[in-house]
Structure 1
Amino acid sequence: MGIQPYVVYLSSSAHSNWKEPVKTKYTKNGNVIFVGPCEDHGLSDAMGAPGDTKPGHKLRITQMLNKSDILFGYIPDDRYRSFNIMLEIGIAHAKGKKILFVNEARSLNNEMECVQSYIDQSFDSLSNGLDSLHQIITAPSENGGASSEQSKFIQPSDHLEHKIFLSGSPSSAWENRVKAQYQDDKSVTIITGSRIQDLAEADILFACRTDSEGRLFNLALAVGYANALGKQILFINQGDHYSHAYDYVKPFADGYFTTLDEGLRYLDYAVGIEDRL
């Protein structure tokens, strides 16, 4: 049985530059995959920076935290606000992720007391935190993944896979367009059909209405089910065709788009494919 890599979400100030040396160290190590928010400031702002009405920021961090086994949070100093780290720790804790937290901002020691009940381990230096992370991702076990002690906290992933369920207009043209977009991306699996089990196992619902004709009960049904399961939902209403019925659907979507291209652009961003954005 092969090694099951850990998926580690790196959380820190957007202005710190400690992540690249860490990623480089494990470039040839099959035990770990690093993910996180977008680190390209220009692209991040274009897709929806924090506080923006565009949904890119939420889509990206939610999807990557969903796929992660471990969150490694680091506050290097108190020059920058670190609300994003607290937000991501809160999400990760609720999802049962293992959380390692480093605080080197001594002036924030008292304020950081609030985070202690959310995390598994805390450190006062980056080197100590990274040493602990290294022990986790390199520890041997009979199954090649997490040791029995670590598996109490972590469920290692076979690999990083994003499952996208398609629902909407009966025309195959838009589905084929989505499939073509990801045919060469091994990390993305496109799921079609009407099996409720497939939607339950998916990460993201990509719902598309291609024109103003027809009542897409399947789309509304899928959105309701996916929302209740906590899935991320991207709703594309091509041409922004008005329908009072679809006003019921829009509030339950995490992103609303009026062209298929725009919806695919945000889907790329959510799953971390930045080279074509």
Structure 2
Amino acid sequence: MKLVTRAQWGARAYRTPSGATPYGRARKGVKVHYLGSAYSDRTHDKCAAYVRSLQNSHMDGNGWSDIGYSFVVCTHGYSFEGRGLKRRNSANGNTSLNDQDYAVCALVGSSGLTQPTDPQLNGIRDTIEYCREKGPAGDWLGGHRDGYATTCPGGPLYAWVKKGAPRPNGSTTPEEEDPMAAITKTDIFNAVWKTDGIPAPSDADDVKTNVNWQALSVLRDIQARVRANTQTEAAQSAAIAKLAQLVGSDVDTAAVVAAVEKAIKDAVVKVDVDINGPAA
């Protein structure tokens, strides 16, 4: 749901005590409204200003304590918080009807723009589900005209409401979309391996283009390095032991050096065989 809070759209403070009246009972459901006057579509950056003008009309023209609706949904699919989930609306016709259902208004008119957009229908549907989940509201759904003598919410919108307010053209909510659909192997490499500091199994230039490598190659490389270090330490220990045996013996320096070099060479050959296998 693309919710725009009162603070975000620049709402005036509501008047008390009437504007702070809570619902007196559980909400039966949601009533859908339209403006009932001419409306022209606009770019989304102008929608907040229109909602502010609507609030001014309700407070200064009608004498109400706040904007009348619970939520207002623009043609771009954004839901502007009006009186919200907790404060009783003043749009459904009388106090009993206001207390019974939430009031969700679509920014479409009786002339000008009369047909809701697909993003708007999705936004209204999002708002209905939000009212049901967070309100909470029951499953009942209708138009302003249900229970009150009015043409609201107009023919096109009311026909959609009576169908159960389906998502247009089989579209899905953002939650149903695959969040991994746009993520590539390069994204995973950059986000995980580079962050963790694990070296790639090739030089830096290759890594930039070779994004098909797997973590297993890194682990094998680490295991080989550990074995090599372990066996090199063993060779060094063997060389030290050999030197110890020769201490005090009547041998020359060249013989000692030769013995150490042979011990290390034997160990290195063994390491190479263990890691790479015997030569073909």
| TM bracket (short chain) | under 0.3
Structure with the bigger percentage of strand: 1
Where is the helix percentage greater, Structure 1 or Structure 2? 2
TM-score (norm 2): 0.23
Greater radius of gyration (CA)? 2
